[in-house]
Structure 1
């Protein structure tokens, strides 16, 4: 049987079309009408959900506090409701030009599956878990809510609420491609790289498919931040920059993806013995290798500037001379001037990335730069 929970509330008009609702409710009841939407991917690879996994140790600390004498939790819970939740202004009230008192009505249906509940927890997951588990009869909590049927708006608010807190960065990076709202500058800069990374990790035609470690794909072998750095460098002033529209965030990602697919397919072919191994066994799959090889992608693309998007064979031809100069899985790198480093001593630091990138670019330019910029059939033969 369907029931309703009717609570005194205040509606606040923050900006045109943006309304918030403030009210108090027993925290023990919230799980009956609101659920946690954890980040995961469905069978086709699409992202759904936007919450982080519960941190059990933190929940236990809050629970112990709630079970102590005179607990107080002044922080509000943030909920997103769908349109089944409604607000009715109080009769005879005297509203201001931005706030009015009334009542918020929330459906309370028994045994409703989580995916059908009218509310989602945008912020306060751990506090609510602690309240739910605490050995107390009830605990009223302050709630701030907004009403929307748009899941992307719920996701965007989750990012904005949590981006200044110690939230796993990988989780935010996975959410960025699905957002359109204006975000803080450091997140806006990563929106396009995050979109490209998502496609590289999911597209069937991508040589990096399933290889990038993210919040929803922890079995990947390449750290998401390594891929993002490689993409950001190229978008800044490298091979991918030419596809951006000056002064605009708009761009066509398809030619970018074609270039990336062609290049990393060539890398996988030329360095096949080091490709696909865990970073501890191959520095090609390590942050230093990914970022450095990104700079080589930009350098080769610059040499082949007559080709709008170089082919796999063109990239492969230019990479082959570097094959014998690389020490991805064994041996020592010879950086010149008597400086040698064992293959697995390269670390994921800016210093080591710069050292390796500079070395590879120097080697490439001395071996290849002045060669005619055209694909050679010998590339395929040499690979065999």
Structure 2
């Protein structure tokens, strides 16, 4: 049965935004305000909260049930427009917020959302107290971006999970600190390649928020984008990624699609055998993905230097490097790559007892670490340079 929960509050206008500060019955917070966890609905990401921490909630409950306990840190709750404020007298900043209260309502229909304080509210709700007031700061908004913005500002100094940071970076209408804003561009391209563009060879394959069945780590694709970004921008004659418009951003995406289509075509047997466990091929392993990023960057330089690319597309004949261009370049090293069998001959190990000791690695022995990625990338670039005829075979020394 629907009732009304009255919250004693003080109204204040801060920088044009009306906010309220007061006290709420802590045992009833979860009955009027939901927890908005990160979810994905197709190409769209919603929410911002991580999963609850049962041990943290239990420790708060233990504290709440101790003698003379009190919680002084404000919860932050956003309510929709069904919540109203009535001053105790006309013009007064003191009054009550009237909140629709129905404990039987499903979480999705509650009028509020807890922006900060999910663990505290859970700890109080689980306690033996009949009543336990909590301090609260409240705003009223129907705009999800307002909730996300408040969550981000309140948690800037806290160790947010990678999943949370990536989801927050993708919200377009909120202020982001520079470090988070820098993450937004490669993540937005991940979204385009993995969830929005069905023509992408990576469509549905990127493991991301709400897509646990993906087989390629999101971090590997964002690192790929960062590695090739400068060269693609140069190809598009754009100085920095912030200057991309809708047309040039789509061209940026198309170059990435063309490259990965070429990978899927040239290494078709491996691509068709790709899986999450990497037992049949390493073609989508993080080390391989980063190796491909260095190849892509090198090939884009070739595309922009016609004198180094006689017999294939260049800026003189094509506006963008096509899939056909990348296929021809990748085919040069196909027979020297070992993504599913055999060994990669990586170079020469520095050994005081044996001069020029050959160093190799089985196809599935690479680890997803910075040093391993660098080792793999250096070797695959060496293979490409040799096949292009730019260099004779040369040793890579490995400590």
**TM (normalized to structure 2)?**
0.82
> 1:142 is paired with a residue of what secondary structure?
strand
The 1:175–1:183 alpha-carbon spacing in structure 2 relative to 1, beyond 3 Å, is closer
Q: How does 1:1-384 map to 2 (within 5 A)?
A: 2-15=2-15, 17-42=16-41, 44-91=42-89, 100-109=93-102, 111-202=104-195, 203-235=197-229, 237-240=230-233, 242-243=235-236, 246=239, 249-251=242-244, 252=246, 253-275=249-271, 276-278=274-276, 280-281=278-279, 282-305=281-304, 306=315, 307-337=318-348, 338-368=358-388
Aligned length: 362
Find the aligned partners of 2:266 and 2:277 in 1 and give their Cα distance: 18
Q: CA RMSD in A?
A: 2.5
Greater than 4 Å deviation, 4+ residue runs:
240-245
What runs of 5+ residues in structure 2 fail to find an aligned partner?
305-314, 349-357, 391-399
Task: Please report how far the alpha carbon of residue 195 of structure 1 lies from its aligned counterpart in structure 2 after TM superposition.
Answer: 0.9
SS of 2:269 mapped into structure 1: coil
Report deviation, 1:88: 3.9
Deviations 1:213-257 (A, max 9, x none): 12311121111111111112222x222455585467252331122
User: Are the aligned partners of 1:333 and 1:340 in contact in 2 as well (CA < 8 Å)?
Assistant: yes
Contact 2:214–2:276 (Cα < 8 Å) also in 1: no
Which digits, 9 at most, give the CA deviation of each residue in 1:129-172, with x for residues without a partner? Answer: 22222232222111122221111222232233334323221232
Contact 2:8 2:24 (C-alpha < 8 Å) held by counterparts: no
Kept after mapping to 2: 8 A contact 1:263/1:315? yes
Q: Tell me, what secondary structure is at the counterpart of 1:205? A: coil
1:23-68 deviations in Å (ceiling 9; x for gaps) = 11111111221111222223x4322333222222322232233233
Q: Does the 8 Å CA contact 2:346/2:359 hold for their aligned counterparts?
A: yes
Cα distance in structure 1, aligned partners of 2:223 and 2:323: 22
- Residue of structure 2 equivalent to 1:382: none
Cα distance in structure 1, aligned partners of 2:153 and 2:300? 37
User: Given that residues 27 and 125 in structure 2 are in contact (C-alpha distance below 8 angstroms), is that contact kept between their aligned partners in structure 1?
Assistant: yes
Unaligned runs of 5+ in 1: 95-99, 371-384
Which piece of structure 1 moves more, 266-275 or 297-306?
266-275
Change (3 A) 1:58 1:354: same
Residue 93 of structure 1 deviates from its aligned partner by 7.6
CA distance in 2, matches of 1:285, 1:279: 10
Cα 1:245–1:183 change in 2 (3 A) is farther
* Secondary structure of the structure 2 residue equivalent to 1:12: strand
Choose 64-73 or 309-318, whichever is displaced more. 64-73
Distance in 2 separating the partners of 1:247 and 1:295: 20
Q: Report the CA distance between 1:120 and its aligned residue.
A: 0.8
Change in CA separation of 1:246 and 1:310 when aligned onto 2, cut-off 3 Å: closer
Larger radius of gyration: 2
